[in-house]
Amino acid sequence: MTANSSASTPESQNLPSLDWIAVLFFGAVHALALLGLWCFSWPALLVTVGLHWFLGSIGICLGYHRLLSHRSFQVPRWLEYTIATIGALAMQGGPIFWVAGHRLHHAHTEDEVKDPYSARRGFWWSHMLWIFYPYPDFFEYDRYRRYAPDLDRDPYYRWLNRNFLWLQLPLGIPLYLCGGWSFVIWGMFVRAVFLWHSTWFINSVTHLWGYRTFETEDNARNLWWAAILTYGEGWHNNHHAYPHVAKAGWRWWEIDVTWWAISILRGIGLASHVNLPPKTAIEQG
Model pLDDT, residue 284 = 64
The tens digit of pLDDT for each residue in 212-254 reads 999 999 999 999 999 999 999 999 999 999 999 999 999 999 9
d(CA 61, CA 68): 10
Q: What is the mean pLDDT of the chain?
A: 93
The tens digit of pLDDT for each residue in 162-178 reads 999 999 999 999 999 99
d(CA 212, CA 223): 9
Is 2 a residue whose pLDDT tops 90? no
Q: Which residues are bridge partners to 159 per DSSP?
A: none
Answer left, alpha or beta for residue 249, where phi above 0 means left and psi between -120 and 50 means alpha: beta
Number of H helices and E strands in the chain, helices first, is 16, 0
Is 6 a residue whose pLDDT tops 60? no
Q: How confident is the model at residue 282 (pLDDT cuts 50, 70, 90)?
A: low
Q: Which amino acid belongs to residue 15?
A: L
Is 261 a residue whose pLDDT tops 80? yes
